[in-house]
Structure 1
Amino acid sequence: MTTDGTWAEYAETLGVPRGSATGTLSILDGAMTSNPWEGSEAGAERIGAELDSTPIG
C-alpha cells in the first residue's frame, strides 16, 4: 500500500465497493475534529517501506 493509490482504490482491492468506501470516509471525516490517520499513515508507510526493502527468503 505504499503506492500512491486512494483509499477508495484500496477498498476495491479488498472487495469493498468504491462508493461505499468513499461515502464512509466522507462521513467519518466530517465527524472528526482532528486527523487521527496522520500517525497511522506514517506507521503504515514505514512498515511498507521496510517490507519493500527486505529480501524474501
Structure 2
Amino acid sequence: MHLSKCYLQRRHLVVILAFLGFANIYAMRANLSVAIVQMTSDTVVTTVDGEQ
C-alpha cells in the first residue's frame, strides 16, 4: 500500500534544490566580494575626541 502521493517527480525536486543552492552560492560570493573591498579600504574613522 502506497501511503503518500508525491506531486513532484524526484528530478524536478533535484532541479529546484540545485537552483536554490546555486543562487545561494552566488549571493554569498557577491556579498563576500563587497565585504572584502570594505575590509581593505584605507578609510580612518575619527571620533569627536580625536581618537581613531
TM range (shorter): 0.3 to 0.5
Task: Give TM-score, length-normalised by structure 1.
Answer: 0.39
Structure scoring higher RCO (CA < 8 A, sep ≥ 6) equals 1
Task: Give TM-score, length-normalised by structure 2.
Answer: 0.42
Larger radius of gyration: 2
Higher helix share: 1
